[in-house]
Amino acid sequence: MVAAFFCWSGLETLLRQDMAPPPLLLLAALAAVAPLPWRRAHPLAAAAVAFGPLTVVDLVRILTGSHGALPSSVSATLVLTYALFRWGSGREAAGGLAVILVWLPITNVADPVSLAERVAAYAFFLFAAALGAAIRYRARIRLRDIDEAKAREREQLARELHDTVAHHVSGIAIQAQAGRAIAAAHPDRAIEALATIEDAATRTLTELRAIVGVLRASQHTEFEPQPGVAEVEQLASDGQTRPCVEVTLAGELDDLSPAVGAAIYRLAQESITNARRHARHATQVTVAVTGDADQVRLTVDDDGASGPTGRAPAGYGLVGMRERATLLGGTFHAGPTAGRGWRVEANLPRTATSR
């Protein structure tokens, strides 16, 4: 850009006869073009270096009565004006604008022009400033959208890790505690607990690898298979693990939105995990999924002890479950029942409605 402007000025000096004296031409060309390489890193300094000498050149032309034209490379000041509002801070833009507004009337006196040409000159510089400000605003909006998208991805990843890995790790911890408690009196049952731990650890490792694979994949991650309502039945226990988990599916559960099916599975999985962790003396967890023409309802009940000391302080589990249901346009409620136990209830539309 600098080379092009200098070549342009050189050709004008050679071909045109109505130019200002050579010293003024050289100073004006250097003032307008030389700061261009620093217009992004130091926009205010570049504008000051350009418009300050140009103001001096125009004042000399006024005092000496020299009315020769300046080189067209002075139009590089439009680029500097754009850069000032595109890359400069608010204070830099205000200070640079003041310098520009001081130079414009002086250069109009040095080069007497018609009113229309004078208005056009102001319009050009205001347009360059407005364009720089508009693109700066658009870039900020884009960066904000990118940051929001990253935040949503982090929240989704946190929910997936909590709902999958934490579920299996919780089961491993519970089985390990049970195995240690009965190892001396019932070695056979301790061996069964170890087998359950091994199976849960294997599934945890598999799901971790799947999550890492999706994160590393550069494309087509939206086609990765997700668990759905059909997989909720796999959360039922075999009766040897306490609390026992029973799963019931009823109603219209076909043709659900994939997002809704995955949410039902994750909500049920997290509810079972919470019951195993926090429901004191619980022996039974009942999971019921019922679908109708408009929505799907998930209810998870346990018979654990309730009350002020019956549950651990709320963590990220309930927060993530409520967010998951709300994002799909559904409702979520969790709390103690009237008698004994805890109930989790979620109602989701059959077709996800993102919020």
Tens digits of per-residue pLDDT, 121-175?
A: 889 999 999 999 999 999 999 888 888 877 777 777 676 666 666 666 777 777 7
Q: What is the mean pLDDT of the chain?
A: 82
pLDDT for position 309: 45
Q: Which of 185-189, 215-219, 283-287 has the highest mean pLDDT?
A: 283-287
Task: Give how far Cα 35 sits from Cα of 4, 5, 76, 137, Å.
Answer: 14, 12, 10, 24
Calpha distance 65→70 (Å, rounded): 14
What are the start and end residues of each CATH 3.30.565.10 domain in the chain? Answer: 229-355
Q: How confident is the model at residue 41 (pLDDT cuts 50, 70, 90)?
A: very high
Q: How confident is the model at residue 313 (pLDDT cuts 50, 70, 90)?
A: very low
Predicted TM-score (pTM) of the model is: 0.49
User: Using N-to-C axis directions, what is the helix angle for 76-87 and 90-110, rounded to 10°?
Assistant: 160
Architecture of domain 229-355: 2-Layer Sandwich (3.30)
Residue 236: which of 195, 275, 298, 285 has the closest Cα? 285
Between 18 and 27, the higher pLDDT residue: 27
Residue 334: count of CB within 10 angstroms of its CB: 19
162-176, 252-266, 273-287, range with the lowest pLDDT: 162-176
186-200, 262-276, 307-321, range with the lowest pLDDT: 307-321
Residue 49: which of 22, 13, 83, 10 has the closest Cα? 83
Q: Which of 74-88, 168-182, 214-228, 265-279 has the highest mean pLDDT?
A: 74-88
Instruction: Tell the burial category of 263 from Cβ atoms under 10 Å away from its Cβ (0-12, 13-18, 19+).
Output: buried
pLDDT for position 135: 93
